[in-house]
Amino acid sequence: MDKKRYFIGIDGGGTKTDVAVCDSEGNVIYRKKSSGCNPSNIGLENTVKLLQTALTEAYAGAGICQKKDETFVFIGAAGCGVGNNAAVVRGALQETAANVWVDSDIVNVIQTGLQGENGIAVIAGTGSLIAAYKDGAVFKFGGNGFLFEEGGSGFSLGRDGLIAAFNDIDGVGEKTLLTEYITQRLGKNPKDARGELCKQTPDYIGSFAALVSKAYKNGDKAAINIMQKNMESILRFVKRARQELTEEKPKAAFVGGIFKDEIYREYIADKIGKEYRLAFTQVPPVCGALRQAACLAGENVDTAFMYNVEKTVKE
């Protein structure tokens, strides 16, 4: 690889925007996180502004010239795979970055979890998205935004936990530990906090997913039902994505905050572990964005490059 080349990868979601810069050998020389850049949450204009700032800071922080032809940028961001969002963002950023590509954040997961191999990629953070990757083609399923997701995301888990507490208080649902846990967190009856909750961001609602996990581990029936419902939603999309593949036992890579909790990993493994080669990677998706930037620059990305990226990226 040409030592003068640099790659900038950006992984953007509803909760955070993760930016990293590496050299031609995969050594990460800059990393910074900021707030989420999903245009579905903050609007396309604000997404562009946030990314412009993030890129300018990345060039300065890494000590490289933003107009040099040897710098290549890939942005994989939630909401940018919708409509013409990617084209709009890319057009707006071309004054900031000489070589920039924009796509959905599922590409980061494909590059991190599959690394060029055909298979299925699953993101489950604040939102969720599933894709089949086959010979360079990407087939996406779900990812319709938090308002239209049936389940499988942090937002859905948190929302369902809150609903269970509301129903318990109203006497129309089963008794649940979630009522106690949510009351403790809010410092008041959850129903009295509805007005405040309605003004919160999707990632804040998603943060209540941790309480669903806590209640589940304590044998709470409502929490068990919520977890199963949400994981089954993901599995339906995985089953649909598999129809695009011909491999007998395809690889399925799972990435995102949801799968940091063993209860979700264990459920998925129990349900489909015999049908797929499962990978629950803890490698930050921004590493996949760096790999995609290098691939789009025409580099023959080898295992040494990714080894260095994963070794030198700092949380």
Q: Name the average pLDDT for the chain.
A: 92
Q: Tell me: the pLDDT tens digits for 231-256?
A: 999 999 999 999 999 999 999 999 88
Could you tell me which residue, 136 or 74, shows the higher pLDDT?
Answer: 74
Q: Where are the domains of the chain?
A: 6-105+285-312, 142-280
Q: Determine the pLDDT at residue 67.
A: 64
pLDDT single digits (tens) 96-114:
888 999 999 999 989 988 9
Residue 149 pLDDT greater than 80, yes or no = yes
Tell me the whole-structure pTM to 2 decimals: 0.84
The CATH number of domain 142-280 is 3.40.640.10: no
pLDDT at 71 over 50: yes
Tell me, yes or no, if the two domains 6-105+285-312 and 142-280 fold the same way.
Answer: yes
Reply yes or no on whether the pLDDT at 84 is more than 90: yes
For the domain 6-105+285-312, what is the CATH code? 3.30.420.40
**pLDDT, tens digit (0-9, with 9 covering 90-100), for 157-199:** 999 999 999 999 999 999 999 999 999 999 999 999 999 999 9
Specify the pLDDT at position 146. Answer: 82
The string of DSSP codes covering 165-224 is HHHHHHTSS---HHHHHHHHHHTS-GGGGHHHHHTS-HHHHHTTHHHHHHHHHTT-HHHH
Identity of residue 41:
N
Q: Averaged over 44-64, what is the pLDDT?
A: 94
Q: Can you tell me the mean pLDDT for 270-275?
A: 96
What's the average model confidence in pLDDT over 11-33?
93
